[in-house]
Amino acid sequence: ILSSKKCVAKQRQYKLFAVVYHDGKEASKGHYITDVFNIGYASWIRYDDSIVRSVSEQTVLHPHLPKVPYLLYYRRCDTIGPQSQSTSTA
């Protein structure tokens, strides 16, 4: 239901903390890669089968074809400790 009243509550902010990419023509076929923001390292980590490596936030936010973001995971900012400094907020 739409309301003409302005929302007086502070708008919540969210941070992207994981992206699952799919490379393939069908969801049931192809290859999946996951990027996760690691709070302890304050950086993005890519999990690609047995290969685990650090990637830049720019790489996460601007993927190249044929890799397509399939699932995006967000966490509300007020539930994250102050040690998390990733700039990707929504």
- pLDDT tens-digit profile of 54-76? 999 999 999 887 788 999 999 99
Looking at the predicted structure, is the pLDDT value of residue 41 above 80?
yes
Least confident of 11-15, 41-45, 68-72, 81-85: 81-85
Number of domains in the chain: 1
85 lies in some domain:
no
83 lies in some domain:
no
Per the structure, the complete domain to which residue 33 belongs is given by 13-78
Q: Does 5 or 44 have the greater pLDDT score?
A: 44
Instruction: Give the pLDDT score at 71.
Output: 95
Amino acid present at 89:
T
